[in-house]
Amino acid sequence: MSESPRMYHNPRCSKSRAALALLRERGIEPEIVEYLKTPPDRATLRDLIARLGVSPRTLLRTHEDAYRELGLSDPELPDERIIQAMVDHPRLIERPIVIQGGQARIGRPPERVLEIV
């Protein structure tokens, strides 16, 4: 049997709660990482980005105050600056993210997480 998926979760987010409910309805209990309480470090974020197959910018929540305050809309910002902003301000990280094996999915819409479990 394969190991349980890991879910980067914010219990205050409706999409994150919906993705967790979808997994549990299928008898899947993920390892939950409340990333606002236990933020990922740079290496973990780089790994997530690689598993998602996206650019760091794709993982940014653009409606957060920190996004504007840090000038993250600048298309010339290097990836490392974007990653550091997410390390410093984990609220900027899109959610939920589910990892299973070598793959990951952002649960927007929540059903996307079912593609890898």
Rounding to the nearest 10 degrees, give the CA dihedral for residues 38, 51, 99, 73: 50
Q: Can 13 be counted among the known catalytic residues?
A: yes
Q: How far from each other are the two terminal CA atoms of the chain, in whole angstroms?
A: 12
- ∠ CA(47), CA(102), CA(44), 5° rounding? 20
Pull the structure tokens for residue 88.
């410093």
**Which of 2, 4, 5, 13 is flagged as catalytic?**
13
Q: Are 10 and 96 in contact (CB under 8 A)?
A: yes
**Catalytic residue positions, numbered:** 13
